[in-house]
C-alpha cells in the first residue's frame, strides 16, 4: 500500500462503520473516523483501538458542516477515498421526521462530494440499501431490478443520494463510485467488542431478539405469520456485518484499478432468504436459550420477501461471504453480553 492510503470513514463509530474500520486496518489502509456520536458511543473508539492495536484518528464533527469536513481533508494529505456511512437510518422515524432525514442524509452527501472535488479525492463508496428496490415483482433482485418509488423518506434519501452520485459523475467531476446496496446486516465482531448498538427500542430483528433474551425487552412480536412463505413470516437476506465490512475494502480496491470515472451499484447479500421464525429458532439452537416471542398483526409497509442476487459483487469485486447465519447469531449474543451501559 502506498503512503497515500488514508480513507475517510463518515459514521465510522456506527454499526457497519466500526466493523469496516477494522477491515480497513487489516487491509493496510489508514482510516480517518468522522462521527459526532449521535448514533453511537465514544467508548466504541476504545474498543476499535483495542481490536486494531492502534490509536485511530477520530474527528468529532457533524457531516453536514462543510467547514468542518473541509478541515478534515485539509489536515490529512494522504486521503485517497471516502466511505460514506453517516446517515439517519430508521424507516419509522423518517416517516415522523421527513425534513430531518432529507436535511441530514442528503446534505451530508453534498458536503462529502464538495470536499472530494475541492481536495481532488476520487474514490467514494456509498452506503446504500436494498430499500431502493421497494416491493419487487420478483423476490430475487439484481442490480437491473427497477428502482421503485420510495415507501419512506429514508428510502427516498437513499435513492436521491444514488442519483446525486450518478449526476456528479456525469457532470465531469473525476469520481469513481461504488453504490453498495445492503440487505440485512446482522452479527458482531467475533471478539465481542463491537456490534450493533441501538439507541432506544431496536428497529431491527436480531438486537430485539438479544435484548429480549437478556431481559431488557419483555417479548418479541413477530409481525404476521400469514404471508405467502413456507412458515408464513417475512423473508430477508441476512448478512454478517464482518462480511459486509469486507465488501467495502474490496470496493475500494476495485475503484483504485479503474482508469476512468465510474458509478456502479452492487448488491451485498448472501443470496439466500431466511424467515423471521427461522432466525428465531436458529438463534435458540446456536445459543441454547429460549426467545420469548408472540405472533402479532402484520406491520404496514413490510415487504413479504426479498433477497439478493449478489453475483455482480462476487464476480467483479471478488467478494464472497465467509460467515453463516448461525455464526452471526452466535456473535450477536456474545456481543449483547459484552455491551457497556
Report the catalytic residues.
154
Q: How many CB atoms lie within 10 A of CB 168?
A: 21
Which grid coordinates belong to 139? 423476490
- Rounded CA separation 68/331 (Å): 36
Contact 334, 192 (CB under 8 A): yes
Per-residue burial over 316-335, b if 16 or more Cβ lie within 10 Å, else e, is: ebebebebebebbbbbbbbb
User: Smallest Cα–Cα separation from 332: which of 231, 235, 202?
Assistant: 202
SS3 (DSSP) at 56:
coil
User: Smallest Cα–Cα separation from 122: which of 258, 21, 244?
Assistant: 258
Which residues are paired to 33 by β-bridges?
9, 58
Which grid coordinates belong to 150? 420510495
- CA-angle at 15, arms to 249 and 290, nearest 5°: 120
Any residues with CB less than 8 A from the CB of 254 and at least 6 apart, and which?
178, 316, 317, 318
Contact 325, 279 (CB under 8 A): yes
Amino acid at each position: 500500500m502506498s503512503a497515500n492510503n488514508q480513507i475517510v470513514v463518515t459514521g465510522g463509530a456506527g454499526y457497519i462503520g466500526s466493523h469496516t474500520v477494522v477491515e480497513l486496518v487489516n487491509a493496510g489502509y489508514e482510516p480517518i473516523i468522522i462521527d459526532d456520536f449521535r448514533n453511537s458511543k465514544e467508548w466504541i473508539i476504545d474498543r476499535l483501538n483495542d481490536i486494531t492495536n492502534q490509536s485511530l484518528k477520530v474527528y468529532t464533527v457533524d457531516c453536514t458542516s462543510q467547514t468542518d469536513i473541509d478541515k478534515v481533508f485539509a489536515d490529512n494529505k494522504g486521503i485517497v477515498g471516502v466511505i460514506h456511512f453517516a446517515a439517519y437510518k430508521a424507516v419509522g422515524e423518517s416517516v415522523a421526521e421527513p425534513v430531518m432525514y432529507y436535511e441530514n442524509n442528503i446534505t451530508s452527501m453534498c458536503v462529502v462530494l464538495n470536499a472530494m472535488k475541492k481536495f481532488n479525492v476520487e474514490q467514494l463508496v456509498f452506503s446504500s440499501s436494498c430499500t431502493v428496490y421497494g416491493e419487487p415483482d420478483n423476490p430475487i433482485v439484481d442490480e437491473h431490478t427497477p428502482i421503485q418509488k420510495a415507501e419512506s423518506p429514508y428510502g427516498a434519501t437513499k435513492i436521491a443520494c444514488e442519483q446525486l452520485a450518478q449526476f456528479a459523475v456525469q457532470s465531469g467531476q473525476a469520481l469513481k463510485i461504488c453504490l453498495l446496496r445492503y440487505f440485512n446486516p446482522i452479527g458482531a465482531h467475533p471478539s465481542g467488542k463491537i456490534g450493533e448498538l441501538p439507541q432506544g427500542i431496536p428497529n431491527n430483528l436480531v438486537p430485539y431478539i438479544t435484548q429480549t433474551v437478556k431481559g431488557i425487552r419483555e417479548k418479541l412480536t413477530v409481525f404476521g405469520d400469514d404471508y405467502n412463505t413456507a412458515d408464513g413470516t417475512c423473508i430477508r437476506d441476512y448478512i454478517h456485518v464482518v462480511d459486509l465490512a469486507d465488501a467495502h475494502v474490496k470496493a475500494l480496491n476495485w475503484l483504485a484499478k479503474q482508469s476512468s470515472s465510474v458509478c456502479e451499484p452492487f448488491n451485498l447479500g448472501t443470496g439466500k432468504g431466511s424467515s423471521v421464525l427461522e432466525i428465531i429458532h436458529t438463534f435458540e439452537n446456536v445459543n441454547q436459550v429460549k426467545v420469548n416471542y408472540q405472533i402479532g398483526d402484520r406491520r404496514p409497509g413490510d415487504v413479504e420477501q426479498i433477497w439478493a442476487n449478489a453475483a455482480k459483487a462476487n464476480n467483479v469485486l471478488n467478494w464472497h461471504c465467509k460467515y453463516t447465519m448461525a455464526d452471526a447469531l452466535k456473535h450477536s449474543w456474545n456481543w449483547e453480553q459484552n455491551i457497556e451501559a
